[in-house]
A and B are shown apart, each in its own frame.
Chain A
Amino acid sequence: RKEVEQDPGPFNVPEGATVAFNCTYSNSASQSFFWYRQDCRKEPKLLMSVYSSGNEDGRFTAQLNRASQYISLLIRDSKLSDSATYLCVVYILTGGGNKLTFGTGTQLKVEL
């Protein structure tokens, strides 16, 4: 089982739609969680951290369910510029150090 699993998509949605991405992680010792965005042939950029209480940043809402080891990202009123790959990222403190593990990403295409 992969440490971080995501539906690869693509999710094709019309402009203005609401879309949700899910992510599951296998290591219950995972400590911190993030969503990154990666545009084609660009480096990943931090979109938002994910907190246990859930958090919102404009049109983006992130949720964490530790019991189910599940993370979600909701995008409301999607824009053409939201088209990208969204990476679920989990931070794990291991005996050998620390590890930031990335899911393979979910591709979003927002269309007119």
Chain B
Amino acid sequence: GAGVSQSPSNKVTEKGKDVELRCDPISGHTALYWYRQRLGQGLEFLIYFQGNSAPDKSGLPSDRFSAERTGESVSTLTIQRTQQEDSAVYLCASSLRTVSGYTFGSGTRLTVV
């Protein structure tokens, strides 16, 4: 596609429910990142994919968080048993070459009530 697409754009969920966030990177982009941004805060690294492999998962805050990528394309971030502190904008970014700049999707705004 022309840009990085994320869905849903907004998600309101009840505490304790599982949610799945989707990222469609720009076609051919091998590197893919997930970040989290809480209101008024900076970007917090979650996980990085090179192809379908995740060499760096160090930013995942707990075992409730997991992510996968298939076909060197779509990635999904799953949060199990959501908590109120999970409320944030979840941003996905992709790049053709890891040393170049990254293009971000418009994010998924997650609200846990």
Mark A residues whose CB is within 8 Å of B: 31-32, 34, 36, 42-46, 49, 87, 91, 93-94, 96-105
Contact = CB atoms under 8 A, between A and B. Distances in A.
B40 to A, nearest CB: 10
Given A97-B56, A98-B50, A105 B42 contact: yes
Name the prevailing secondary structure of the B interface residues. Answer: strand
Contacts of A44: 43, 91, 104
A100 B33 contact: yes
Contacts of B100: 49
B101 interface: yes
Interface size class of B (residues with CB under 8 A): 20 to 34
A43 B106 contact: yes
Nearest to A46: B101
A32 B106 CA distance: 24
Interface of B: 31, 33, 35, 41-43, 45, 48, 50, 55-56, 58, 91, 93, 98-107
Given A46-B101, A91-B98, A99 B42 contact: no
A45 B102 CA distance: 8
A102 B104 contact: no
Nearest to A97: B55
A98 B42 contact: no
Nearest to B43: A102
B48 A99 contact: yes
A96 B55 contact: yes
A35 to B, nearest CB: 10
